[in-house]
Structures are given as structure tokens and as C-alpha cells.
Amino acid sequence: MASVVDLERLRALVLGNPVKGTKPVTSRLDALGMADSTLHPVYRIRRRKNKEPVLASKSTNTRQGHQNHARNERPDRETQLFDRQLRLWQSLGQQRIREAAVKICDCSATSAQIAKNLLLAGVRTIDMFDNKVVLQSDIGHHFFLNQESLGLNRSKECCRLLNELGPPKSSADWNDELLDREYFEGFDDLHGFWGWQAHMCVRRPEDDESVTSEYCWDFYVPTVLVQTCGLVATIRVQIRELSIIPTTHSDSLIDLRLDSPFPSLSAFVKSFEMDKLESHEHAHVPAVVIIMHFLDIFKSNHDGKLPQDSAQREELKQMILAEKRNADEENFDEAVGMIWKACQPTKVPEHVEALFNDPQCNKAAWWDGRFWLLVKSLREFVKQNPSRQLPLSGVLPDMKSDTQSYIKLQSIYRQQASEDLQKFKEILREVRQTIEDEPEEEENSEDEEKSEKSDSERYRTDNGHHTEGPEFDMPSEMVETFVKNCAHIRLIRGGNYYSHPKDLIPKFTKECEPGNEDYTVTWYFAFEALARYRRQNGDEYPGMRKGQEEQDFNTLSDIVLNVLAYRGWDKDEKKVPEKLQKALREMVRSSGCELPHISSLVGGIVSQEVIKIATRQYIPLNGICVFDGYRSATGILEF
């Protein structure tokens, strides 16, 4: 294991600090000419000592980097820096990351790894909370603390070194407080709370976790709760509601309307007279034309119905293969490969229909007004569309064809997609106007006193906190992305802090069977016992006091038996299962320590989930992830 001196030298080399016996070097930011970049945080609620809460204004820097890229031949510095990320979530996702703001409570080694990953990804504001001072024991396993940090505030020192790594316009800010009840109740007004993308509590006691989760739940802000102990960790993601608009490049975007072609596509297909084509032309007919041509013939012989079973699909396959003039006509083989997709009726997916029927679709939800405005507009588009279908994506896959036919077919799909997009934008404007006019109509129908209510009074949280109401302004890129991917939009809804994973006892019973090597639920119960132990013992971890290890184990065993009984564990013998005993003994042996490699791995998992939450393009964890470092395994417990 690396010594403290080795870690010091490695840390100094990475951060660009002087190493004893070597020539001092400038920081990475100085080398890039970025050290003096101005930081503009998004929605920052800050409380200074003896001062009132201050809310910074919302960032107006949106797409400047990509506008510069469009003007210059060479990409700007920011585009070069985040090139790989832009390929994953495109400019809209990177813009959201640049405007993101998160809070992390407790500057432990795991917290620092989370902050490091988010900072390097370009997250604009990371507020770190900790009121402890740096001890010698912290430096041994904490990469972002050094000997100069001894005796100083842990969050301040951690942020000092983290900011050496940060890209331009990103920062980690320190606070000598904790995210606890005293902190939240210290504000007269929580205005702007909803502007944060996530609050994270790392290795915090139950009381702090519950109060943070309570406030975040009220404002629809996701919460990530992390606990580590030795080689094991749990990551709990609490999401009240989160909309997902993917920007994928996969085959899922392909919508060819093979079973229900639009007029221009039908006309193009009918322009091919298969029997009169020369051999070269016949071998280059697009597969889309072939499958639709024979699908029309099949439907005319079967009362206008699509193939219903494998026998009928085989019949269609033989019809297509019979038209092949030689074995080299790959376009006909491609058409055969499209049979399954062609036999599936094109309709609105069930999960999208569920959004249409959601009560929020008829309201202006203050926490996600843009998404519900888009969904309501999409519902109206489907109603007005004669085919009752979603807008066309306009994506055409590669296929064997002559250039002229492929380009013509591609232009037909793109033209229809463009028309659908324009129609959607018109509906969007009408629906938005209708929503914005509704409050005025309601006010005119009420008495004079009620009509004077402000938007902040009209839109309140469940606990009565004021909000600014729904936000409807959105970039055109967001509208285009939504229309292109509307068949794959999702809405994530999870449980609050007091919700428990499903089927815990049946899963635990199965884990206790001989030969079962899964420890997911076992570790979950062990961490529940650990949380209660810390609450009863002033936030101490079991095993911290030398000579009391057996006593701590017995205390944990008593606690976990109560937890099992509360969850419905019905066993005659009052004994902790052997598997759970092993987990508890490992907790006592670990003494609540943080290991650098586990902190790094858990930090990567957590930051990845926060990026998913911030970009709203990938489905995040909605439950509890248990990482078992003894077996290098992870398990997911869903609510």
C-alpha cells in the first residue's frame, strides 16, 4: 500500500504543485490560460455568517461555445476540452451540464471523488459542506488533502485542491456548515431551491439524510445518499419526478412507417414497376420499397390485414424471395430482414399513452413545465394527425440501393419529418398560449381578492413554499430533439426517503439458501443496522473503540434482528442468519474506514448518476445500488 509520502508526491504531480527537489510548475489552468476565468454559478442559495440568504441570478451563458464553433473553422477551447462528452449527449446535454449546480455534504474521500468527476465534466457549481477540520488520518486516504491542510476546514482545503483541476467556468465552493435541519430552517425563503440538480449526502447520519431528502422531495430535486464502510457501499437515488428526452443514435430512432405509409412515400413505392426493371435496377431497389410493395400485395389477399403469425410471416417471406432473380440481390435479403418490423402496427407506444393520460398533462406543473407542455402538445398533434401517429423521426438506415433512389427516398422521409416538426411547433405555440391564458380566466371568474394572487402564491410546494411557477421557454434544439425522439421519452418516479425496496424478505430468504453467493439484501440490512447504531452512539462506527469489537457486534446483531422483525422476518429462532453475521463482523472489522480505491469507484458511480440526472437523456438509477467489494459485484434494489 502506498505511503503518505508517495501519495503526497503523486498528488503534487497531478495538481501541478511543487515537489520537493524539483522545479515548481504552474497549474494546469495556468498552462491553458484559464486560471482567471470568471465563474457564474446557477441558482446558488448561500448563507454567510450573520447575513441573510443570498440567491445569485441564473446563468445566461447558454450556447456561446457552440456559436463560436460555428463562426470559426477551428473548434473553441471548450469544444476541444469536452469533445468526447459532446459525442455522448450532444450540445444540449453539455449545455445542461454547464448550467448544473449540485451540493455535496461531508468532504470525505468519496465526496472528493464525486466532486472531481463532476468538476472535470464541466458542472458549473459544486457546493461542498463540512464543518470538520483536517486530521492526519484524513490525509492518508484522501487524495485532495495534504500536509498543509492539517487543522484547517476540510471543505475549504478540499475545494482549494479540486479547483486546480477544474475546467473554465466551473468551481467547487466550500461551506463550513452541514446540510441538516438547522441549515435549512435558517432560511426565511428557499427561493431558487428548485434550480439545483441534486443534493448529495455522503456518510451522513440518518437525521441529516432524512431532512435533506424531505426538503428535496418537496422541491422535486433529486437526492443521492451514499454510505461506505470498508469494501462495501450503498448508493440510494431518490427521484420524485424526472423527465427523460433521449438523444440516441441507435436503431431505435428508425421509424419507416412500413405498414402505414404517408402519401408521398406510397407514391414513390408505386413508381417502381418490378417486372419491367432491368437486372441492375432490380438489384438496387431499396429494401423499403420491396417490403412495402409485397406487403401491399399480402394485405390485398388477406382483407387488408398485416401478417398475424409466423405462418403468415413465412408466406410474406416466400413472396419476396420468389422475386429474387439471382442470389446476389442483397436488397431482397434486407427486405426479408425487415419483415418482423413491418408486421408490427405503427402506433403510439404504451408508455407515451400513459403520459397522455397522466393528470399532470392537463396542468402546468411548476417543477417541469417545459416537459409537460411538450407532452400536451404531442397529445394534441396525435389527435389532429389523421393517422393518429407520432411525428416522423426522418431517420433512414443504410441499405443497398443506387444513389439516386436512396437520396430520393431519404428526402421523402426528411420532408415528411420537417412537415411534422413545423406542425408540432404550431400546436406548441397554441397550447402554450392556452395554458398561459388559463390563470387569467380563473382570476376573472373569482372575486377581487383572489384575483390579486401572484404566481408565487398560485404555485406552491406541498409544504407551502413559494415557487416561480412553470417555465415554458426552451431552445429550438430541445423542441427538435423532443420531436425526433418522442417515441422514447420517459418519466421516472421513485419513492421518498421512507420508502423501502420491494420484496426484501423473499429476496433475503433466497440469499440465505445454501450455495447462494448473492449478498445484495444482506448488505442492505447490515447498512440499516449500521445507521441505527450510529444514531445511538453519537455518529460513531462500530469497531472504532479498541477492545469493544465483540460488544459492538452484539449490539449490531440486536439491532438487525429488530430490523428484520419490522420488515416481516418470521423465524422461530432469535438468531441472526449466518450470512448476515459475516456482514456485520466485516463492518466491525472495517471500523467505518474509507479505502481510496472504493472511494474512487463509488465516486465514479455516483457522478455518473448525477450526470444522467443533469442531462436528462439517460435513465438514472431509481432505487438502491449495493456495491460489494469483496465479490466485485453490484446489486440493484428497486422501490
Task: Please write the tens of the pLDDT for every residue from 322-331.
Answer: 999 998 899 9
Task: Please write the tens of the pLDDT for every residue from 114-156.
Answer: 999 999 999 999 999 999 999 998 898 899 999 999 999 999 9
Res. 302 pLDDT band, cuts 50 70 90: very high
Q: Check residues 369 and 252 and name the one with the higher pLDDT.
A: 369
pLDDT mean over 628-637: 95
Say yes or no to pLDDT of 447 above 60: no
* C-alpha pair distances (Å), 5 with each of 10, 14, 150, 179, 409: 9, 14, 15, 33, 66
Of 22-26, 101-105, 456-460, the least confident: 22-26
On whether the CB atoms of residues 315 and 428 are closer than 8 A, the answer is no
Q: Check residues 19 and 161 and name the one with the higher pLDDT.
A: 161
DSSP secondary structure string for all residues of 74-124:
SPPHHHHHTHHHHHHHHHHHHHHHHT-EEEEES--HHHHHHHHHHHHHT-S
Say whether 243 sits in a helix, a strand or coil.
Answer: strand
Say yes or no to pLDDT of 559 above 80: yes
Q: Kindly give the pairing relationship between strand 171-175 and strand 54-55.
A: unpaired
Phi and psi at residue 514, to the nearest 5°: -60, 135
DSSP secondary structure string for all residues of 592-634:
T-B-HHHHHHHHHHHHHHHHHHHHTSSPPP-EEEEEETTTTEE
Say yes or no to pLDDT of 42 above 70: no
H or E element in which residue 244 lies: strand 242-244
Per-residue pLDDT, 14: 45
Task: Please write the tens of the pLDDT for every residue from 310-323.
Answer: 999 999 999 999 99
The label of the residue with cell 448473492 reads 518
Q: Check residues 21 and 406 and name the one with the higher pLDDT.
A: 406
Alpha carbon distance 105, 182 (integer Å): 14
Per-residue pLDDT, 44: 39
Res. 251 pLDDT band, cuts 50 70 90: low
Cβ-based neighbours of 381, under 8 Å, separated by 6 or more: 390, 391, 420, 423, 424, 427
Question: Could you give the maximum distance between any two Cα atoms of the chain, in Å?
Answer: 93
H or E element in which residue 280 lies: helix 279-282
On whether the CB atoms of residues 345 and 387 are closer than 8 A, the answer is no
Say yes or no to pLDDT of 411 above 80: yes
Per-residue pLDDT, 47: 43
Type of residue numbered 311: A
Res. 436 pLDDT band, cuts 50 70 90: confident
Q: What is the mean pLDDT of the chain?
A: 85
Alpha carbon distance 229, 592 (integer Å): 5
What the block records as the C-alpha cell of 368 is 417541469
The label of the residue with cell 447498512 reads 527
What the block records as the C-alpha cell of 239 is 427521484
Res. 459 pLDDT band, cuts 50 70 90: confident
Instruction: Output DSSP code: residue 588.
Output: H
Per-residue pLDDT, 574: 77
Res. 41 pLDDT band, cuts 50 70 90: very low
Say yes or no to pLDDT of 557 above 80: yes
CA atoms within 13 A on the CB side of 193: 26
On whether the CB atoms of residues 290 and 277 are closer than 8 A, the answer is no
Q: Where are the domains of the chain?
A: 258-342, 352-490, 504-590
List the Cα angle 241/440/457 in 5-degree steps: 50
Task: Please write the tens of the pLDDT for every residue from 564-589.
Answer: 999 888 766 678 999 999 999 999 99
Alpha helices in 323-471 (DSSP H): 330-337, 339-342, 350-356, 369-384, 403-445, 448-451, 455-458
Say whether 490 sits in a helix, a strand or coil.
Answer: strand
Task: Please write the tens of the pLDDT for every residue from 161-211.
Answer: 999 986 777 888 999 999 999 999 999 889 889 999 999 999 999 999 999
On whether the CB atoms of residues 45 and 55 are closer than 8 A, the answer is yes
Give the count of beta carbons closer than 10 Å to the beta carbon of residue 499: 12
Res. 452 pLDDT band, cuts 50 70 90: very low
